[in-house]
Structure 1
Amino acid sequence: MKKLTLIRVLSLFVFMFLAAGAPAQTPFEEEVHYFSIIPEQPGAEGDKVQVVEFFWYACPHCYKLEPHIGQWLERKPDAVEFVRIPAMFKRADVVLHAKTFYALTLMGVEDELNAAIFDEIHVRKNRLATAEDMEALLADKGVDVEAYRKAMKSFAVQTQSRRAEVLAGRFDIRGVPAFVVDGKYRTSGLEGDLQMQAIDYLIDKVIAEKRAKKQ
Structure 2
Amino acid sequence: MTFNRRMFLLSAVTAAFSARSWAEAGNPFGLPPGEAGQQNDLSNVIKPYLAVGPYEGDRHRVYMFLSYECPYCEQTWYGLGQWGSTLPEPFRFVYVPVYTGNKRSDAAATGYYVVRDLAPSRIGEYNRLAFDTARHAKTADDYIGVLRRMGFNRDAVKASLNKQQTRDRIARAMMLARNYRITATPFFAVGGRYTTHAGFTNGNYQMLVQLLNGLVSDVVQGK
**TM-score past 0.5 threshold:** yes
Identity %: 23
Q: Which amino acid aligns with 2:118?
A: M
In structure 2, relative to structure 1, the CA distance for the partners of 1:192 and 1:67 (3 Å cut) is: farther
The equivalences for 1:49-60 within 5 A come to 49-60=60-71
Q: Which amino acid aligns with 2:123?
A: E
Out of 51, 62, 65, the position equivalent to 1:36 is: 51
Task: Give 3-state SS (helix, strand or coil) of 2:222's partner.
Answer: helix
Kindly state the Cα deviation for residue 128 of structure 1 after the two structures are TM-superposed. Answer: 6.1
Contact 1:55 1:84 in 2 (8 A): yes
Kindly state the Cα deviation for residue 200 of structure 1 after the two structures are TM-superposed. Answer: 0.7
Q: CA RMSD in A?
A: 2.3
Contact 2:112 2:126 in 1 (8 A): no
* Corresponding position: 1:175 with 2:189: no
In structure 2, relative to structure 1, the CA distance for the partners of 1:113 and 1:182 (3 Å cut) is: same
List gaps (5 residues or longer) in structure 1: 1-24, 211-215
Q: Distance in 2 between matches of 1:153 and 1:174?
A: 30
* Corresponding position: 1:160 with 2:177: no
Contact 1:138 1:145 in 2 (8 A): no
Kindly state the Cα deviation for residue 43 of structure 1 after the two structures are TM-superposed. Answer: 4.3
The equivalences for 1:4-23 within 5 A come to none
1:83 is aligned to: 94
Q: Which amino acid aligns with 2:155?
A: E
Larger Rg: 1
Deviations 1:140-169 (A, max 9, x none): 232233312332343222222122111211
Please identify, of 171-180 and 133-142, the stretch whose mean Cα deviation from structure 2 is larger: 133-142
Contact 1:58 1:127 in 2 (8 A): no
After TM superposition, where is structure 1 displaced by more than 6 Å over at least 4 residues in a row? none
In structure 2, relative to structure 1, the CA distance for the partners of 1:128 and 1:53 (3 Å cut) is: farther
Kindly state the Cα deviation for residue 74 of structure 1 after the two structures are TM-superposed. Answer: 4.4
Task: Give 3-state SS (helix, strand or coil) of 1:85's partner.
Answer: strand
